[in-house]
Structure formats: C-alpha cells, structure tokens
C-alpha cells in the first residue's frame, strides 16, 4: 500500500507499512505461535486482508478551527495532522470528509483544543456499509449546545452527503483521552446502519462494536461456523457476543438453542433485531456481563457442549476460565485479539487441549 503520509513521516500509525505484506503476515504468525508454544494443535494458514481501503470505520480527531477544520490525529505536541486522504479508508468514507468539514464551517462548530481545554467538537466517527455505501456519522461533542443547530442543518447535510443514513451526537464532557461518553442523541429517523456479512444482516447502532475489516470478518465468522458444524453440538453459548456475529452465523448448524451474552444493551438490541429478521427461533440474546451470566447459569438444567468466547484484550480472566475448565463443556472456540492474554487463559484451562488455531489479519501494517 502506498501512503504519502507515511513516506513524509507525517503519520506512522501503520508502523509496519515499509515491510512487504507477506513479511508482515509471517511475523504475525510467528508471534502467535510463539505465544502458544507448547500447547500443541495444528496451525492453519493465515487469512490475509486487502492491503488498502479495508477499514469500514474512521475515527478522526477534529482539530484546527471552525473555519479550517482538520480531521486526523494529534502529533506529540497535541497539534492536528489532517489524514483526509488516508488509504486505509474506502472511497465512501474519504468522500464524506469534505462535506463534513463544510458542515463544521457552515455551523461554526469550534474543534476541541486539547492544549487550551476549550472548544466543542472532539471526534468524528464514520462507519460505512459496503452493501450500498450508506454511512453512520457520529459527532463527539463536549456539550449538547449544538444539537438543535445540527438538527436544523440536517436537510442541508443530507443534500451534501446523500449516503448519510444515521447521524448522532455523543456527549463526552471530560478532558480525558476517552473516545465517547454515555449520552447519545440520534438526529435522523433511522437509528441503525445495516451491514451484511455472508448474507446475514447486522443492524449497527451508534455505540455497537463491530469488526472494522468487513472482508476478513466474513472469513472469521464463516470459519467459526464450519468449526461448530464439525463438532455438531446440541446447544451453544456465545459469550461477549457483540451484535451476534458468531451466534447468528452458527444458528443454522445447531439443532438446539444458541444463547448470546453481551453486556451492551445496545448491541443486544441489534442482535435481537437480526435474529427476528432472519426468523431464527432457536437464538436468544441477553444483556448481561459474562461473569454475571455464568453465576446464573450454574443452576441451569442443561449446559451446552460448545461455547464460543470473544473477550476484550484483557481476556477471560481467572473466574471464567475456572468455570469453563470445571464445567461439562467439551469444546471452546476462542476468538482472541491478544495472543498473550489468550495464552494465559489457555494455561488456566488445563482440561482442554488445543486442537487447531488460525490467524486472521484484521489490521494490516500494524
């Protein structure tokens, strides 16, 4: 991938960009194999990504001033670096940057100045559906004083950005490196962005987690489905299920029930909407923390033979590992974004043996 920002030294977020992509894949494979040394198992070939335009989401810091906004990142001195032509993003996202800058100029919304601790607009978050290039745009603001002006400007913004499907404002009032706050106000009639993976609909709400690499995510979920089909369990749990990626993909190969657990009520609402649209009668989703669910599940009359887990970077932790290791669960499919926490968790589940592993490169060049 060619990147003028990297060549000029303006942005080094893609720290491995100077390395041939084949070498990057070998390094990632080696790192994961090293982390899991001694656990056995068969390593399947790494799943590569497109090298450019693979991100379905942009998280842009807003800097500069209202008359000349900058969308990108902060440098070491907290000054803005504009990355409006970043090749990680597909055309539908990069084409949206200028109309959004025009909106900032038109309304005079002052970008937040980290050094002075003043201003309003902190981040611009854009998600694209590759189905039809429709967009979900979120403005992270320090206060709610701009909401009505943004609402009044919506028709103009929609005319300038015809692919806009969902527009929302997130309020993040504190001076901390926190991407978003608790309050979210949706300004459009539509509240969800629909994205299809392997033909299945996922209805994303503004605060829903979703894999940022659509093409590799499709292969991740399809692979999990094939592994579940090989085991052929009667029932399945999907812990840390998000918007239901694993559960929805596996529902048609489970003769019994699939239960999805996720702490985010917004994500669960999205998963339930997808299950309803697909007419799935054997899938249930609940807004619970995984450990809270496990505490309740101890009394359930029937435990599943297979559990899928997709925890955050910190991993499953001692309690959940102990529960799985001592339970009647026969198979765990573990989707990990951190090989070190994965290795720690597997070491705490000695009752299981590693059968096979595969690396999916969701984040090229880093």
Catalytic residue positions?
337
Beta strand 80-82 pairing with 331-334: unpaired
Nearest to 177 by CA among 231, 120, 258, 122: 122
- For the record, the structure tokens of 133 come out as 């290039």
> Which of left, alpha, beta for 141 (phi over 0: left; psi -120 to 50: alpha)?
beta
Rg (Cα) of the chain, in Å, rounded?
A: 22
For residue 239, give the nearest of 268, 266, 200, 218 by alpha carbon.
268
What value, to the nearest 5°, has the Cα angle with vertex 108 and ends 102 and 114? 100
Structure tokens at 219: 């292969």
Residue found by looking up tokens 């404002």 in the block: 169
Quote the CA–CA distance of 234 and 166 in Å, as a whole number: 39
As a whole number of angstroms, the distance between CA 227 and CA 154 comes to: 46
């Amino acid at each position: 991938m060619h990147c003028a920002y990297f060549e000029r030294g303006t942005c080094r977020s893609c720290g491995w960009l100077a390395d041939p992509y084949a070498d990057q894949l070998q390094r990632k494979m080696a790192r994961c194999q090293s982390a899991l040394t001694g656990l056995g198992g068969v390593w399947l070939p790494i799943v590569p990504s497109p090298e450019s335009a693979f991100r379905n989401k942009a998280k842009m810091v807003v800097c500069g001033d209202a008359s000349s906004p900058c969308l990108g990142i902060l440098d070491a001195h907290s000054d803005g670096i504009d990355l409006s032509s970043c090749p990680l993003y597909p055309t539908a996202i990069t084409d949206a940057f200028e109309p959004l800058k025009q909106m900032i100029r038109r309304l005079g919304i002052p970008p937040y100045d980290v050094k002075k601790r003043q201003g309003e607009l902190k981040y611009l978050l854009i998600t694209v559906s590759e189905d039809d290039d429709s967009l979900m745009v979120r403005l992270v603001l320090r206060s709610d004083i701009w909401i009505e002006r943004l609402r009044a400007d919506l028709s103009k913004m929609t005319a300038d950005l015809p692919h806009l499907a969902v527009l929302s404002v997130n309020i993040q009032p504190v001076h901390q490196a926190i991407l978003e706050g608790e309050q979210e106000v949706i300004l459009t009639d539509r509240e969800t962005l629909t994205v299809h993976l392997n033909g299945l609909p996922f209805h994303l709400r503004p605060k829903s987690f979703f894999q940022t690499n659509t093409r590799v995510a499709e292969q991740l979920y399809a692979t999990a489905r094939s592994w579940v089909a090989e085991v052929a369990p009667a029932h399945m749990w999907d812990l840390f299920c998000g918007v239901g990626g694993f559960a929805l993909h596996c529902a048609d190969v489970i003769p019994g029930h699939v239960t999805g657990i996720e702490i985010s009520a917004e994500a669960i609402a999205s998963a339930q909407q997808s299950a309803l649209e697909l007419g799935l009668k054997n899938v249930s989703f609940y807004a619970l923390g995984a450990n809270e669910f496990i505490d309740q599940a101890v009394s359930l009359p029937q435990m599943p033979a297979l559990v899928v887990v997709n925890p955050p970077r910190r991993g499953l932790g001692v309690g959940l590992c102990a529960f799985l290791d001592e339970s009647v669960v026969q198979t765990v499919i573990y989707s990990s974004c951190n090989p070190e926490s994965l290795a720690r968790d597997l070491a705490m589940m000695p009752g299981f043996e590693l059968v096979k592993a595969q690396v999916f490169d969701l984040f090229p060049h880093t």
